[in-house]
A = this chain, B = another copy of it.
Amino acid sequence: MAKDLFGICPFVTSQKILQGKWAILVLHELSQGTRRFNELERELGITHATLSSQLKSLEREGIVSRTVYAEVPPRVEYSLTEIGRKFESVLASIEAWGYDYIDFLHANRPTAS
C-alpha cells in the first residue's frame, strides 16, 4: 500500500497526497459523509474518469474506503478511513484560512467598489 509514500518529512508526504487538482475537494466532500460515485461526480463537477483515478489513488493510500453493494443497479459508496477522518482537522484549517484569504483579496482589490 503506497510504499512510495514512506517518507520522512510530513510535508513532503502530505504534499504527494494533496498534489492533485481534486484531492482536497474529494476529501472535503467525504468528510461530510459517505458518498456514492455519482454523487461525487455531480457535486464536484469532475469527470468520471478523473474521479475514478483520484478515488483509486486515495483508496490505495489508505485514506478512503470503498464499499460495493451487490445490488442491481450496482451501488458503491466511498467514505473516509480512520486516518482519513483524522485529515478533517487539516480541512478545517484550510477552510478557515481560505475564508481569511478571500476576505484579504477583497480588502486589497484594485478597484474598490
Identify the A interface with B (CB < 8 A).
1-3, 5-15, 17-19, 21, 24-25, 28, 62, 83, 86-87, 89-102, 104-106, 108-110
Closest CB pairs A-B (n = 7): A10-B98, A93-B93, A14-B98, A90-B93, A83-B104, A14-B94, A10-B95
Q: Of all chain B residues, which has the CB nearest A63? A: B101
Are B97 and A90 interface neighbours, CB within 8 A?
Answer: yes
Classify the secondary structure of A's interface with B: helix
CB<8 Å pairs between A and B, sample of 15: A7-B102, A10-B94, A10-B95, A10-B98, A11-B91, A11-B94, A13-B98, A14-B24, A17-B101, A62-B108, A83-B100, A90-B90, A90-B93, A90-B94, A93-B93
